[in-house]
Amino acid sequence: EADIYQTPRYLVIGTGKKITLECSQTMGHDKMYWYQQDPGMELHLIHYSYGVNSTEKGDLSSESTVSRIRTEHFPLTLESARPSHTSQYLCASSRGETQYFGPGTRLLVL
């Protein structure tokens, strides 16, 4: 099982602010993912990476961006937060097909 960490766990921020959600894993997994999840709803893939310097957009259109400069680190950035970005953001990593998730970041944009 992967050790995967997300910070912050909770974030309340005003409209227009730039934010970066951090995700790190210590298992050396090549693949990492970001999902957006509204309460009680399914997970929607917004970004993924299959390795360093590789990033792809997921199924759900998102105004966020990601980078993968190091294997263990996969930060997600919102250049200008809006209330519509209020949601839970989940990071996951995998070596094969089984994804292991972090605890999530709950974002509230006022």
Among 17, 22, 55, 58, binds other proteins (CB under 8 A): 58
78, 90, 107, 109: residue in contact with other proteins (rule CB under 8 A)? 90
Please pick, from the candidates 78, 81, 99, 107, the single residue that binds other proteins as defined by CB under 8 A: 99
Count of positions on this chain that bind other proteins (CB under 8 A) = 22
Specify the residue, 14 or 40, whose C-beta has the smaller distance to other proteins.
40
State yes or no: residue 61 binds other proteins (CB under 8 A). no
| Euclidean distance between CA atoms 6 and 50, whole angstroms | 19
| Beta bridge pairs of residue 90 | 35
Burial class (CB in 10 A: 0-12, 13-18, 19+), 86: middle
User: Residue type at 57?
Assistant: K
